[in-house]
Amino acid sequence: MPKPSNKAEFVAAGMRVMFRQGYHGTAIRDVVAEGRVPQGSFTNHFGSKEAFAEEVLNQFFEQTKAIVAQALGDRSLSPRQRLLRYLDLITASLAADDYLRGCLIGDFSIEISQTSEHLRERLVAIYREWLRPFEDCIAEGQKAGEIDDRFTPQDLADFLLTSWEGAILRMKVAQLQEPLERFKKIAFATIFAKGT
Amino acid sequence: MPKPSNKAEFVAAGMRVMFRQGYHGTAIRDVVAEGRVPQGSFTNHFGSKEAFAEEVLNQFFEQTKAIVAQALGDRSLSPRQRLLRYLDLITASLAADDYLRGCLIGDFSIEISQTSEHLRERLVAIYREWLRPFEDCIAEGQKAGEIDDRFTPQDLADFLLTSWEGAILRMKVAQLQEPLERFKKIAFATIFAKGT
């Protein structure tokens, strides 16, 4: 009988530890302690810390994509409302952790872009996939006259998610929701509210 | 005769290493190797890695404040032009490093907010001091009719520097200047260009 895999437990524990301590601050023994999984089986599942971090990042991105689908797929909302819904859902998920968690995509963008070319390339691909539904939603909002149409949907989608990463970064320092609410208030009364 | 202090060499070497490897990824032996300074004298100058990182952060903030003074103190420019000048000067300083460096204030915001309460509190104070001249400049720009006046100067200054941190984070992944230019293009045609 094959032994039950504890790969998922490793990834879940790794995500919790990396939210707290970052990539470089995380040792495999921390993950083992967090997940109460045998250290020996780590190497059965993951060839290196870099490969492990990629699995953790992929898992985080899957969770993010589920929130994207929930918000941007809600056809009862206007395109502009769908964008705001996404930021509100992320805000709620961060609030549940007392504003301590943050976004692993943003964390890794800062931490590993200079130290792992492999993970940096994975992040480039993640941003590409993450941005696409936002570009479509923004194009629809521009056609509906809801969003400033002097910029391409590509530029506005990247501006939106990138500035939002800045707001999350600021939240981590302040340990308050304020930077997230400030971003939404300003962006959705200006760029993402044409003609106001 | 007192021995010449090599404290400044430690701090300069520490900044170079921390730009590359982050706070958690930096070991004191890396700083010693980078600066070609004797390991033994590290403990003479710094009580801990945390205390050392605070000196590095303070030094980086001094450099940042010099750029703030250069841009926001230029009375030949309008308030809006002064804000843009600041971002252009930062862009040029980042370009000089092939877009690999980034902003140590942003890096530390991501990396240490959850692991060092002392450094997080220092970051809170740094943001407060960093923001003040931007608030004054934005208030002046609002009076001159150059900047959207539906928001407080405090909100707009925090939005500006925080979203800019997001653009730098994105630059680190892309290793291109594009996210910085995109941010300036959109922000200075909308929020920071009233009535356009």
Q: pLDDT digits over A39-91, tens only?
A: 888 888 998 999 999 999 999 999 999 999 999 999 999 999 999 999 999 99
ipTM value, please give it: 0.95
Question: What phi and psi values does residue A3 have, to the nearest 5 degrees?
Answer: -70, 140
Q: How many CB pairs under 8 A join A and B?
A: 159
User: CATH for A48-187, among 3.40.50.1820, 1.10.357.10, 1.10.260.40, 3.40.50.300?
Assistant: 1.10.357.10
- Which positions in chain B touch A24 (Cβ < 8 Å)? 21-25, 111
- Rounded to the nearest angstrom, the minimum Cα separation between B105 and chain A is 10
pLDDT digits (tens), chain B, 196 positions: 555 578 999 999 999 999 999 999 999 999 999 998 888 888 889 989 999 999 999 999 999 999 999 999 999 999 999 999 999 999 999 988 766 688 999 999 999 998 999 999 999 999 999 999 999 999 999 999 999 999 999 999 999 999 999 999 999 999 999 999 999 999 999 999 975 4
Q: Give the residue on B whose Cα is nearest the Cα of A176.
A: B124
Q: What is the pLDDT of residue A44?
A: 87
Average pLDDT over residues A112-116: 91
d(CA B94, CA B88): 10
- Rounded to the nearest angstrom, the minimum Cα separation between A1 and chain B is 41
pTM attached to this predicted model: 0.95
Q: What is the pLDDT of residue B8?
A: 92
Q: Give the residue on A whose Cα is nearest the Cα of B100.
A: A114
Q: What is the pLDDT of residue B196?
A: 47
Q: What is the pLDDT of residue A37?
A: 86
Q: What is the pLDDT of residue A196?
A: 47
In the numeric block, the tokens 């995380």 are attached to A26
Inter-chain residue contact A169 with B120, CB threshold 8 Å:
no
**What's the CA angle centered on B112, arms A178 and A62, to 5 degrees?**
70
The residues in B 87-116 lying below 8 A from A, measured between CB atoms, are 100, 102, 106-107, 109-111, 113-115
- Least Cα distance to A103 among B27, B181, A111, B76 occurs for A111
d(CA B112, CA B108): 5
Task: Give per-residue pLDDT as tens, A136-195.
Answer: 999 999 999 999 999 999 999 999 999 999 999 999 999 999 999 999 999 999 999 975
Question: What phi and psi values does residue A105 have, to the nearest 5 degrees?
Answer: -65, -45
Q: Give the residue on B whose Cα is nearest the Cα of A102.
A: B110
The domain segmentation of chain A, as residue ranges, is 48-187
Residue A3 has pLDDT above 60, yes or no: no
Q: What is the pLDDT of residue A153?
A: 98
Both tokens of residue A6? 């504890």
Q: What is the pLDDT of residue A101?
A: 82
d(CA B11, CA B59): 8
Inter-chain residue contact B167 with A162, CB threshold 8 Å:
yes
CATH architecture of B50-187: Orthogonal Bundle (1.10)
- Which positions in chain B touch A185 (Cβ < 8 Å)? 151, 155
Higher pLDDT, A2 or A127: A127
**Contacts for A180-184: CB closer than 8 Å, 24+ residues apart:** A180/A87, A180/A90, A180/A91, A180/A94, A181/A91, A182/B155, A182/B158, A182/B159, A182/B162, A183/A87, A183/B159, A183/B162, A183/B163, A184/A84, A184/A87, A184/A88, A184/A91
